[in-house]
Structure 1
Amino acid sequence: MSVCEEVEGCDIECEEVKECDIECGEVEGCDIECGEVNECDIECGEVEGCNIECGEVKECDIECGEVKECDIECGEVEGCDIECGEVKECDIECGEVEECDIECGEVEGCDIECEEVEGCDIECGEVEECDIECEEVEGCDIECGEVKECDIDCGEVEGCDIECGEVKECDIECEKVEGCDIECGR
């Protein structure tokens, strides 16, 4: 049944579509030119379930492989935003990552240019559990400030201070420090 009007379980060019009308407007289940679509990978506009050029997309693998809650070419979207901001459960051009932001700064979970890290922010500052340019550390901040349990070259930071003093669980070259003293003894 290639051209059907109001039908149940009509599948045009997508995959699984329930209650779909091929050439009609607002339909329940699948609307090619208009409205709501569930579990569909056709070229549709603003739809629920799969939106190629517009907005919110859930369970969509069009031009991006297996992606959950991903929007391909849109801006602020729920789940995955390629050019903008917060991204969750996205593996487009960045491998298997959770909460990944491709071209932005502040990200939670993973930044593209970092490997397997949680809470990594390369260009911004506050980082938790990051191993970019620093060994295995918790709360590693590459360019900025707060660092806990870190053995990289950091200045005045909380938890690890190379030039000043207070250091906890640190194995860098520090002088008199609280918690870790390489040259002194404690």
Structure 2
Amino acid sequence: MTDDTMAEASAALKEAGSTVGSIASDIKHAAAQKLGEAMTEVRAKADDAKSGVADEVQGVAMALRRAAEELRGGSAQERTIGTIASTLADVSDQIRDKDLGEMVQMVKRVARENPMLFLGGAALVGFAASRYAKASSSGSGMGSGKGMSSGGAQPSPVDVFVDEGNPVVQPVTTSP
């Protein structure tokens, strides 16, 4: 090869390397931009889900409060259900107020420090999620006639809570 050919080949090689480097830089920039957009979308969806969970927990707390109000004032059941309702309301507020990363770290810490509590909580969350999914897929559950008092009136919160929370609900019949 002549010196001119070598110089031309070297220049072409440098130009190709520069072009490849530029393309790689463009791809890297586009990938970083798409990753940023995806992360923003994931965070938005996670925040929406977090708000939905907080709303559901708040709804359960409100139902428990109504159920507690219908029980005898000062009874052990009323106090217990009231305490559970207050705790769930606090949990709802914490879910709403905490960042998703903080919540993940908190769950990890609880899992390390209290594995049995974590497993019990996971089972409870799974049970609640399956109940929610079942209720969502079959409507509100009010049209089934369960939990209805005589006269076709709206069911009391206690009837609805007991009816929805007990998988083995059987109607109570009284003999004449």
TM range, smaller chain: under 0.3
Q: TM-score, normalised by structure 1?
A: 0.27
Bigger proportion of residues as helix? 2
- Choose 1 or 2 for highest CA Rg: 2
| Structure of greater relative contact order (alpha carbons < 8 Å, 6+ residues apart) | 2
